[in-house]
Amino acid sequence: MEKIDLGIAYVWKYDDDFINLIEETFQNAGLTTFLISYHNIHKVTQKIINKEIFFEFYIDRAWDVEKDFEDLGKILIKRKTIILNHYHKVLHAIDKASMHLEFITAGLNVPHSIIIPPHSEKEEIYLSIDDLAMLGRPFIIKPCNNTGGGVGVVTGAETLKEVLDERINNSNDKYILQEKIYPVILDGKRAWFRSFWAFGSAIPVWWDDQTHLYSELTEDEIEKYNLKKLFHITKVIAENTALDFFSTEIVLTESGKFVVIDYVNDQCDMRLSSKHKDGVPDEIVKLIIRKMLKRIIKLKKQKI
């Protein structure tokens, strides 16, 4: 049986640079990697079933796109492969309704919200004028189980009709209605942050919610603007979700409150800023990969 240190499944063409950097970093450290995509998923699955190859660790960026990858993942779990971002943990973490309540219990600040059931389960809902007034105008409508990228999200809702229409568009999902949170301006920058949790470490960066552009957050800025709490908040979310790798959005308001906005995104967009205007800074992507390498090397040593 051929043993591979890290199996990597992906299908998104814009993941190429991220995956290439993972392979380069791991192979330079003496570890083996193996790529799985549309062209070889069935062949690889059969090889796993036949016990011809074995992945010690596995990162799957395709299972939410194509069921064949999820099926392979289930086989790997039975083979005792360590899955980075285990599937059942992801399914729990991406449910915004569940995370909303768990974050409150954990002491994190979240927007005023109303959670409503799927249209398929309950066609008629009652929202009072007072309910909507609590949210303010405009407010945000989000399906509870979308996995990021703003799919299905309405950011400037004004009326109950918009809520009812969205429920019908995605009738099997719960919805969360949220007040719109506005960041304080810090020396011309909107205090809106995307914070990555990467294999044991919090890595917050500036992220403008209007332009979608990133910039690195320096140690001087962390001290100057008193932003150390970004690390604590991200760690609390990691402890609650038990995920290895995810991002979250955190806003600092004018009142000095840190509010978690977009709770958990497990399939982080890792396009490089050197090739895409709205990509993640290259050094941050490389840092995340080094964190993954360090975690896997540590786990391999523990197994010896």
pTM given for the model: 0.89
Range(s) of the chain covered by CATH 3.30.1490.20: 112-179
Token pair of 128 as six digits: 């009072």
Please give the CATH architecture assigned to the domain spanning 183-288: 2-Layer Sandwich (3.30)
Closest CA to 263 of 87, 97, 140, 118: 97
Q: In which residue are the tokens 């919610």 written? A: 209
Superfamily of the domain at 112-179: ATP-grasp fold, A domain (3.30.1490.20)
pLDDT per position as a tens digit, 120-129:
777 777 777 7
Render each residue's pLDDT in the chain as its tens digit; 304 residues. 899 999 999 999 999 999 999 999 999 999 999 999 999 999 999 999 999 999 999 999 999 888 999 999 999 999 999 999 999 999 999 888 889 999 999 999 999 988 888 877 777 777 777 777 888 888 888 887 764 555 567 877 777 788 778 887 777 778 888 899 999 999 999 999 999 999 999 999 999 999 999 999 999 999 999 999 999 999 999 999 999 999 999 999 999 999 999 899 999 999 999 999 999 999 999 999 999 999 999 999 887 6
Q: Where in the chain is the domain with CATH 3.30.470.20?
A: 183-288
CATH 3.40.50 maps onto the chain at 2-84
> How would DSSP label each residue in 112-165?
-EEEE--TTT-S-----HHHHHHH-SSEEEEETT--STTTT-EEEE-SHHHHHH
Distance CA 157, CA 166 (A): 11
Kindly indicate whether the domain formed by 2-84 is annotated with CATH number 1.10.10.
no
